[in-house]
């Protein structure tokens, strides 16, 4: 159903030049938004509505056979001049428009303008904009056209911006990264069937990493639901547990309420919401007002119970070697966490997902704990007599020991003691809890202060990294050298999406964060995350007056990861995104090769056949830089980083020197 209708006033519009349409031919012509089928038959011209009245087939793509205009979809015939069926054989014909042949061309009398009704899609999309959904990533298609038009109008009004991607999976990853970075929802748009299912991997990434995302999916019309129609899937069932809120938008639904509930669920529960738009419902006329968040959201800054807070404070006051471990859940509370750490003189370790939440140059910053981490972090955990764990999930990748006395604070009660018991599990807002703990321990600590030990441990680790920088088997640049150069070259406040694989382990181990914000596919660990995530991160940098405004975006992946969504480089070019992607090219899935060797299997089917990625970047319209030796490593990195617009820096690396 189209919400567009012609006005009663008409005007004459030029449709064709003289001689443009040959005798016996037809052609679709769009004039100010209205498409007509122009015909030329027996020396006369006709102008018919372009849509066949039966299935909506485009008559301008048909042909004239035996004096009849034949619909290309189902073969029904009409007079090419009058639009009437032959011999009155059908109940309905095709509407026509008056035609004039003038000296300068063929003119058609058409409505002066097209008038558009407000639709269900308008109500929903306006509500999303009111709830601060600023970006939509997606692919416009036949079953989401009404939703797409509503998004276009919001973009025209300056309330929302749209990024058209090349694969729906990239749209979902971009939304997931945006949510991880900002705490706000972005939306992804897809058609019914395969478009909607293509979103699923990125949506699962958002769901397991607790990032708020809205999925807007088309659906077949309600009158054919359940009949096995083309591209029909039970989308609510297909999304299963990935969407905490999933609802078809039906004709009599409270449309603004559904949209508001979708955003509220996504943001407060930090998860995925799904709205499903049957094709004809999305275009239904609606005069309903849009919804807004006013009066719908309360403050979440709830303090922990007083007794539990005092017990934790007493433990911190008594500890000699307390250590703070922060996870991604502490991302928005770090100023208070660092203030508490400085009062206690407590080293701060991070999970891999939380890398960079405290600078590696802070006197108490110890880098990442666990498989992707530094020996500094593990040493301080092992030497501690009390762990204060904030916003971390105790994943086996991180390896937080259960053998130490532990205080764990989290907003989510299900995250507390998730894998093993802890001494003091406490529910509460992390920012409030750390501020109140600071008040209770200020000036009363028994801890020895470990700043000098942190500096000593960093000195040991940096000397080891210096030795590793010299490793060279003649098969490419080693990771220690590459990430040391990146540490020097990358802007100190860059946003850095990283992929999975050996490149990511090396990043966690060797790259020293200043004030960079790191994004990754944490629990899902999905290859291909980094570059679509860079698209989402770049969007955050376009928001004036936010902490991300104007910051650089530098993403990192291996050749395997970039190969998942390589055509999104054209998306970055299309929208003029100023971002740099550093691609570690080693010609194999190096992490999997290592796992095969570790498991006593032969290395099998992990090699990759790659192009010259720097040349590929140039073909896409981006800047391409290729680095093959240490001698031009830093110069090549800076060439890509200083380019205004999308750049890809391809670094030939040794897969085994990680």
CATH number at residue 523: 3.40.50.970
Q: Tens digit of pLDDT for each residue in 317-343? A: 999 999 999 999 999 999 999 999 999
| 3-class state of residue 218 by DSSP | strand
Given a cut of 90, whether residue 404 has pLDDT beyond it is yes
Check residue 91 and give its pLDDT: 62
Pairing relationship of beta strands 213-219 and 243-248 according to DSSP bridges = unpaired
| 438 and 515 inside one domain | no
Residue closest to 352 by CA, chosen among 496, 137, 532: 496
Check residue 2 and give its pLDDT: 63
| CATH code of residue 68 | 2.102.10.10
Q: Are 389 and 414 in contact (CB under 8 A)?
A: no
Q: Are 206 and 213 in contact (CB under 8 A)?
A: yes
Note the maximum CA span of the chain: 101
| 367 and 310 inside one domain | yes
Q: How many domains does the chain have?
A: 4
- In angstroms, the CA 554 to CA 534 distance is 7
CB atoms closer than 10 angstroms to residue 325:
28
Eight-class DSSP state of 477: B
More confidently predicted of 276 and 658? 276
| 383 and 365 inside one domain | yes
| 244 and 148 inside one domain | yes
What is the pLDDT averaged over residues 395-405? 90
Q: Tens digit of pLDDT for each residue in 131-175? A: 999 999 999 998 999 999 999 999 999 999 999 999 999 999 999
Q: Are 473 and 454 in contact (CB under 8 A)?
A: no
Q: Are 553 and 541 in contact (CB under 8 A)?
A: yes
What is the pLDDT averaged over residues 472-478? 90
Q: Tens digit of pLDDT for each residue in 609-647? A: 999 999 999 999 999 999 999 999 999 999 999 999 999
* Crossing angle for the helix pair 590-598 and 502-510, to the nearest 10 degrees: 100
Check residue 276 and give its pLDDT: 96
Residue 322 burial (10 A CB sphere; 0-12, 13-18, 19+):
buried
The CA–CA distances, whole Å, from 84 to 51, 64, 92, 411, 589 equal 14, 14, 8, 68, 63
| 269 and 312 inside one domain | no
- What rounded mean pLDDT belongs to the chain? 94
CB atoms closer than 10 angstroms to residue 130:
18
| 394 and 502 inside one domain | no
Check residue 88 and give its pLDDT: 64
Among 282, 315, 336, residue at a domain's last position? 282
Instruction: Quickly state the pLDDT bin for 116 (edges 50, 70, 90).
Output: confident
Among 82, 115, 148, residue at a domain's last position? 115
| 646 and 523 inside one domain | yes
Check residue 106 and give its pLDDT: 97
Q: What is the pTM of this model?
A: 0.93
- In angstroms, the CA 444 to CA 437 distance is 11
| 271 and 363 inside one domain | no
Check residue 230 and give its pLDDT: 85
Q: Are 113 and 135 in contact (CB under 8 A)?
A: no
- In angstroms, the CA 45 to CA 25 distance is 10
Contact residues for 92 (Cβ-Cβ < 8 A; gap 6+): 53, 85
Residue closest to 347 by CA, chosen among 223, 263, 221, 456: 456
Q: Are 398 and 352 in contact (CB under 8 A)?
A: yes
The DSSP secondary structure of 401-428, one letter per residue, reads -TTS-EEEEES-GGGTTSSS--SEEEES
Among 91, 115, 139, residue at a domain's last position? 115
Confirm whether 462 is domain-assigned: no
Residue span of the structural domain in which 521 resides = 470-652
Confirm whether 428 is domain-assigned: yes
CA atoms within 13 A on the CB side of 427: 6
**Bridge partners, 108 (sequence order):** 13, 99
- In angstroms, the CA 296 to CA 281 distance is 27
């Amino acid at each position: 159903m189209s919400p567009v209708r012609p006005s009663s006033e008409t005007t004459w519009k030029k449709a064709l030049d003289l001689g443009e349409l040959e005798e016996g031919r037809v052609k679709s012509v769009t004039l100010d938004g209205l498409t007509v089928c122009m015909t030329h038959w027996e020396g006369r011209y006709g102008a018919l509505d372009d849509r066949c009245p039966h299935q909506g087939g485009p008559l301008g793509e048909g042909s004239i056979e035996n004096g009849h205009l034949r619909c290309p979809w189902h073969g029904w015939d009409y007079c090419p001049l009058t639009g009437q069926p032959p011999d009155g054989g059908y109940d309905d014909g095709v509407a026509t428009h008056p035609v004039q042949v003038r000296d300068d061309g063929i003119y058609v009398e058409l409505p002066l303008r097209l008038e558009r009704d407000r639709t269900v899609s308008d109500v929903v999309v306006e509500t999303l904009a009111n709830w601060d959904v600023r970006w939509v990533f997606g692919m416009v298609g036949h079953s989401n056209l009404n939703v797409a038009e509503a998004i276009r109008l919001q973009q025209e009004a300056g309330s929302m911006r749209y990024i058209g991607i090349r694969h729906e999976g990239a749209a979902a990853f971009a939304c997931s990264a945006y949510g991880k970075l900002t705490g706000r929802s972005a939306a992804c748009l897809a058609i019914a069937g395969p478009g909607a299912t293509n979103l699923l991997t990125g949506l699962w990434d958002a769901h397991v990493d607790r990032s708020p995302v809205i999925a807007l999916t088309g659906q077949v019309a309600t009158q054919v639901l359940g009949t096995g129609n083309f591209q029909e899937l039970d989308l609510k069932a297909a999304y299963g547990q990935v969407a905490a809120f999933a609802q078809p938008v039906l004709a009599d639904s409270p449309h603004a309420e559904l949209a508001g509930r979708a955003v509220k669920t996504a943001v407060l529960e930090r998860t995925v919401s799904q709205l499903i738009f049957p094709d004809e419902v999305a275009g239904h006329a609606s005069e309903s007002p849009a919804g807004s968040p006013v009066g719908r959201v309360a403050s979440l800054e709830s303090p922990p119970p007083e007794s539990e807070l005092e017990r934790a404070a007493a433990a911190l006051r008594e500890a000699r070697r307390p250590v703070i471990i922060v996870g991604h859940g502490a991302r928005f509370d770090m100023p208070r966490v660092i203030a508490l750490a400085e009062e206690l003189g407590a080293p701060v370790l991070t999970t891999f997902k939380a890398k960079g939440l405290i600078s590696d140059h802070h006197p108490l910053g110890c880098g990442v704990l666990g498989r992707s981490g530094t020996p500094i972090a593990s040493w301080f955990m092992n030497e501690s007599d009390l762990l204060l764990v904030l916003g971390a999930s105790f994943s086996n990748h991180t390896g937080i020991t259960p053998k130490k006395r532990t205080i764990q604070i989290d907003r989510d009660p299900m995250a507390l003691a998730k894998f093993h018991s802890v001494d003091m599990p406490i529910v509460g807002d992390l920012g409030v809890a750390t501020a109140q703990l600071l008040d209770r321990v200020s000036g009363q600590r028994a801890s020895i202060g470990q700043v000098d030990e942190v500096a000593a441990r960093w000195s040991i680790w940096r000397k080891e990294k210096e030795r590793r920088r010299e490793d060279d088997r003649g098969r490419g640049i080693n990771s220690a050298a590459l990430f040391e150069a990146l540490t020097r070259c990358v802007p100190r406040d860059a946003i850095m999406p990283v992929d999975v694989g050996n490149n990511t382990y090396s990043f966690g181990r060797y790259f020293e964060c200043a004030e960079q914000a790191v994004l990754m596919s944490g629990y899902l660990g999905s290859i291909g995350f980094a570059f679509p995530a860079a698209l989402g991160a770049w969007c955050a940098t376009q928001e004036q007056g936010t902490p991300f405004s104007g910051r650089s975006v530098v993403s990192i992946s291996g050749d395997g990861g970039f190969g998942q969504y390589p055509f999104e480089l054209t998306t970055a070019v299309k929208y003029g995104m100023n971002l740099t992607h550093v691609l570690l090219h080693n010609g194999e899935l190096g992490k999997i090769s290592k796992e095969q060797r570790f498991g006593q299997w032969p290395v099998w089917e992990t090699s990759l056949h790659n192009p010259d990625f720097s040349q590929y970047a140039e073909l896409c319209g981006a800047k391409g830089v290729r680095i093959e030796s240490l001698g031009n490593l830093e110069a090549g990195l800076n060439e890509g980083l200083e380019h205004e617009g999308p750049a890809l820096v391809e670094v030939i690396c040794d897969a085994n020197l990680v």
